[in-house]
Amino acid sequence: MRIDLHVHSKHSTRPSQWFLQKLGCPESFTEPVRLYDIAKSRGMDMVTIADHNTIHGALEIAHLPDAFISEEITSYFPEDRCKVHVLALDINESIHADIQKVRENVFELVPYLREKGVAHVVAHPLYGVNDRLTVGHFEKMLLLFENFEVNGTRDAFQNDILSAVLAGLTSEDMERLAVKHDLEPVFEAPWIKRLTGGSDDHSSLNIASMYTEVPGATNLEEFLRGLRGGLARPGGRPSHPKAMAINLYAIAYQFYKSKFGFHKYVDKDLFLKFVDRFLSGNPEEKTGMVFRARTFLSGMARGGSPKPGGSLNDLFRGKAEELIHEDRRFLDQARRGIGRDVCLEEEWFRFVTRVSDKVLSHFTKNLLDQVSGANLFDIFQCVGSAGALYTVLGPYFVAYTVFTKDRGFCRRVAERFGAAIPGEAGRGLARDRGPGKKDRRTRMAHFTDTFSEVNGVALTLRMHLDMAGKHGKRLTIITCGQEGDMPGEGVMNFKAVGEYHLEEYPSQKFSYPPFLDMLEYVYEQGFTLLHSATPGPIGLAALVIARILKLPIHATYHTAIPQYARFLTGDDSMEELMWRFVVWYYNQMDAVFVPSASTGEELKAHGVAPEKIRTYPRGVDVDRFHPAKRNGFLAKRGIGDGVSLLYVGRVSREKNLHHLAEAFRGLSARRDGVNLVVVGDGPYLEEMRELMSGTRCHFTGCLDGEDLAEAFASSDLFVFPSTTDTFGNVVLEAQASGLPVVVSDQGGPCENVAHGVTGVVVPDMDAQNLEAVLDRLVADPGRIREMGAAARASMEGRSFDAAFLGAWELYKQAS
C-alpha cells in the first residue's frame, strides 16, 4: 500500500515564501477534491491531506473512499521558539482541537500524541523552517521522535544525510544525548529510527513524487501497524531547486488565474496555453481544432521581436512566444499537451532559461550601447529593467538560496555524527562523535570574461590552472563564448547567448552568459568560494550567483578599466563613469586582490574599502623564461645584427606605443644598428606599421610557447611604456630571460624593477624622455649585460609555483 502522507490543499496556513509574499498570493491553491483525484491517478492507494494547523481540507474529502484525516502541526521548542513540523496521521476533530491547545510546546505535544496513540512523524527534520534550527535541536528530535520524514521538497543531499545519520545511531549515542539534553527517550530502542516519505506538495504538481509504502498492507489499520512496526519505507524521488521553483511559479499562476479569470483566455492564447500546461496541473489536457488552427495562424502572422521601448512584460511575453514558435517541442506541448515521460521541472527550466537568455541579451546590448554612448539616463533605465527581470526569475533565486542554506546545515549535522557527506567521500569524522576538525578543502570557481585570448589575465589564469593540477588544488575556470581548444579538465566554457563588440576596439568582445545554466552548474558542483577575474558580464553573473548561493566571493583587479575607457573613447566623463562602476563592483566583494601596492592605493583613493584590499604574490615561470634560450631566434626571422629592443603585449594606443614609436624613430635617426621588435596584435597595429615605415622595426604578430621564450632571450633590452598596467607579466618574463627593462613610473610594472639595477624607471613617460633613456642604454652594451644578469638573479626566487601557493592561501584566509 502506498500513501503520500504530506500533501497540502488551499486551506494550508503556513506563511508564504518570500516570492509568494511579494506577489500577495497564498502558498497553495489546490482544491481538496482535485488533490484527491490527482493522488489516486498517480497510484496512491489512500489519500490524506496534511494542511498546517487545520483539517478543513481533509474534512472536505473525508466522505470519499480511501481518504483519512491528517494534519501538519506547527510546534516550537519553547526555549527559543524554533519551529518544528509534526505530521499527525489518522486523527479526528476532537484530537485536532486538543492538538491546538498543546502544540505551542513540542515537549507537551509529543507526549499527548503518544498518549492518544496517534501515529506521528517529524517532517523535514533538517530544514530550518524559521531559521533557528541548530544541531542541538536536531539532537532533541532524535530523543523525541521515532519516525522521521524523507521529504519530497528537499534534495537527495539532505535526505541522504538524514538517512545516513539515522542508520548510524547507536545506544551509546542516545545515552550521551539524553545526558546532554536532560531528556530521556521513552522508546524501547531509541537508536532505531523509521523513515517515511511525503511529497510536501503545495501546488498539485508534485503530488506522490514521494510517498510511504508498507508492503502487504491492504487497509489503513494495517498500514499504520506496519509503520509502527518498522515495515514502512519511503519511495519516489527527491526534489531539486528546479522543482521548488516551478511550484512557486505554479502557486502564483493558479492564484492569479482564479483571481483574474485567466481560464477564459487560456484556449485563445498560445502563450497562456503553454504556461497553463506546466503550471495548472493539467499537462495532458486535450485541445480542440479551433485552438490548433488559431495558433497556426498566429505563427504565420507573427510580427517579429517586440519593440525595444516596451515594458518588461511585453518583452518577456514577446520573446516567449518567439521561442515557442522556434522550438518545435515547445510548440507541440502547447498544442497537444505534455506527455508523462516529460519531467515538468526540467522542461520548464529549459523554457525559462532560454527566454531569460533572450531577454538578458536584449537588455545587455541596450546597456552596452548606452555605456558606449555615455547616455546616463538610458543607462539607469536599462539597469532598472534588468532589476525587473531579476524579479521574474525570483522563484529560481529563492529556490537555490533555500537549498544552499539547507546544505550548509546538513554538512554540520553530518560532521557532528560522523556521517559521510554525499559526493565528499572520506570526509566524515571519526566515530568518536566529538566536535572534531573539519576537512572541507577549498573548491574555487574562477569566473572570467577572458581565457583563450592573448593577454596577461588569460595567461595568468591558464598558468593558475596548470599549478592547481600540479599541486592538487580544486580550481575550475568558468567562462563563456571562448574560441579555440579548451583544456580537457578544469574549464567550463558556456555557450554565449549573445556577444557585443566595442566599436572603438573591434577585437574586444563581451559574451553574455546563460545565467540560469551557470547558477545550476555552480550549485551542482558544490563550490566553496567564487572568484572574479574580470568585472564584465561574467563577473557580474558571478556576483549575483554568490549572493543567491550565499558563497564568499573575491575579485582581482587586473586591468585599469577606467583609464582604458578614456583612451578608447577620448572622453573624460567615460573614465569617471567607469570608476563609479569599478568602485561599486569591487565594494561588493568580500576581498579584493591587487597585484601591486600602487594599484591598491589607486582603488582606495577612488573609494574601494581599504579593509577589503589584499596584495597577492605574483611569479614567473623561471624555467620557461631563461637566458639559456638565446639562440638567434630573431636572426631566423630576418632581423639584423645590432641591439634589439623588444616590446611584448597588446598593440593598442593605451599602452603608450605612440610614444615608443616616436622615440624609436628619433633613436634610429641618431644611431645605426638598433632594432625594435614588436610582439603582439591589436587595434593600433596598422597605424603603428605606417609610423615605423622606413625604420628597423619588425612586427612578429602573436607568439607563444617556446617561440615567445626564445624571442625574449634573443633580445637585448625590454621596453614597456604603459602607464595603465596594474602589474605587467611581461616585465617579469623579460627579467627572467635576462633582459633589463625600461618602464614608466606609473602603475604596477615599476614595482617589479630595481631602478638602475635591473632596469630603468622613466619618470613622466613621453617620447622625449623615453628616447633619452634608450639612447643612454644603447650606448653602453656592457651596462645592458650587467643589468640583464641582475634582472635574472632577481627573478630566481619568484617562481610561479611559490606565488600560486601563496595566493591560494590568501584566498582561503579571506573566505
Residue pair 525/477 in contact (Cβ under 8 Å)? The answer is: no
Look at residue 434 in the predicted model and tell me its pLDDT: 37
Residue pair 532/558 in contact (Cβ under 8 Å)? The answer is: no
**Domain ranges across the chain:** 2-239, 244-367, 441-615, 627-798
Q: CA of 172: how far to CAs of 165, 166, 175, 407, 501, in Å?
A: 14, 14, 5, 27, 66
DSSP assigned state of 753: -
- Give 206 or 423, the one with higher predicted confidence: 206
- Give 322 or 739, the one with higher predicted confidence: 739
Q: What pLDDT digit, counting tens, does each position of 92-133 carry?
A: 999 999 999 999 999 999 999 999 999 999 999 999 888 899
Q: Which pTM value belongs to this model?
A: 0.76
Q: What pLDDT digit, counting tens, does each position of 790-802 carry?
A: 999 999 888 888 8
- Give 435 or 305, the one with higher predicted confidence: 305
Residue 311 predicted with pLDDT over 80: no
Residue 379 predicted with pLDDT over 50: no
Rounded CA-CA distance 102/157 in Å is 33
Rounded (5°) CA angle 487-488-491: 60
- The candidate with the shortest Cα–Cα distance to 520, out of 358, 346, 320, 316, is 346
Residue 309 predicted with pLDDT over 50: no
- Give 53 or 271, the one with higher predicted confidence: 53
With the C-alpha atoms ordered 648, 650, 656, 662, is the resulting torsion angle positive or negative? positive
Residue 248 predicted with pLDDT over 50: yes
SS3 assignment for 579-597:
HHHHHHHHHCCCEEEECCH
Look at residue 284 in the predicted model and tell me its pLDDT: 64
Look at residue 569 in the predicted model and tell me its pLDDT: 60
The edge-to-edge listing of strands for the beta sheet with 120-122 is 194-198, 147-151, 120-122, 82-89, 67-77, 46-49, 2-4, 210-213, 233-236
The values of phi and psi at residue 277, to 5°, are -55, -45
Rounded (5°) CA angle 558-559-563: 155
Fold of the domain built from segment(s) 2-239: TIM Barrel (3.20.20)
pLDDT bucket at 272, cuts 50 / 70 / 90: confident
Rounded CA-CA distance 601/719 in Å is 25
Look at residue 15 in the predicted model and tell me its pLDDT: 41
Considering only 76-80, 406-410, 657-661, 776-780, which range has the smallest mean pLDDT?
Answer: 406-410
Q: Do you know the residue count of the chain?
A: 815
CATH number of 441-615: 3.40.50.2000
Considering only 20-24, 339-343, 735-739, 809-813, which range has the smallest mean pLDDT?
Answer: 20-24
Residue pair 679/711 in contact (Cβ under 8 Å)? The answer is: yes
Residue 174 predicted with pLDDT over 80: yes
Tell the residue number behind the cell numbers 580550481, with chain if given.
475
CATH number of 627-798: 3.40.50.2000
Q: What pLDDT digit, counting tens, does each position of 346-375 carry?
A: 999 999 999 888 877 766 665 555 545 444
Q: What pLDDT digit, counting tens, does each position of 576-607 carry?
A: 778 888 899 999 999 999 888 888 888 999 99
Look at residue 433 in the predicted model and tell me its pLDDT: 35
pLDDT bucket at 497, cuts 50 / 70 / 90: confident
Q: What pLDDT digit, counting tens, does each position of 521-547 carry?
A: 999 998 999 999 888 889 989 999 999
Q: Residues 386-414: what's their mean pLDDT? A: 81
Q: What percent of the chain has pLDDT over 70?
A: 84
CB burial readout 351-388, b (16+ within 10 A) else e: bbbbbbbbbbbbbbbbbbbbbbeeeeeebeebeebbee
pLDDT bucket at 766, cuts 50 / 70 / 90: very high
Q: Residues 60-87: what's their mean pLDDT? A: 96
Residue 65 predicted with pLDDT over 80: yes
Tell the residue number behind the cell numbers 521558539, with chain if given.
81
- The candidate with the shortest Cα–Cα distance to 625, out of 521, 759, 544, 733, is 733
Considering only 281-285, 315-319, 401-405, 449-453, which range has the smallest mean pLDDT?
Answer: 281-285
The edge-to-edge listing of strands for the beta sheet with 443-447 is 491-494, 474-480, 443-447, 529-532, 553-556, 591-594, 613-615
Q: What pLDDT digit, counting tens, does each position of 286-300 carry?
A: 655 445 555 544 554
DSSP assigned state of 75: E
Rounded CA-CA distance 587/580 in Å is 11
Look at residue 18 in the predicted model and tell me its pLDDT: 47
Look at residue 432 in the predicted model and tell me its pLDDT: 35
Mean pLDDT of the chain: 85
Look at residue 23 in the predicted model and tell me its pLDDT: 54
User: In the chain, what is the straight-line distance between the N-terminal and C-terminal CA atoms, in Å?
Assistant: 50
Considering only 7-21, 187-201, 697-711, 736-750, which range has the smallest mean pLDDT?
Answer: 7-21
Please check whether the two domains, 441-615 and 627-798, share a CATH topology. Answer: yes
Look at residue 494 in the predicted model and tell me its pLDDT: 92
Question: What DSSP string describes 376-395?
Answer: HHHHHHHHHHHHHHHHHTHH
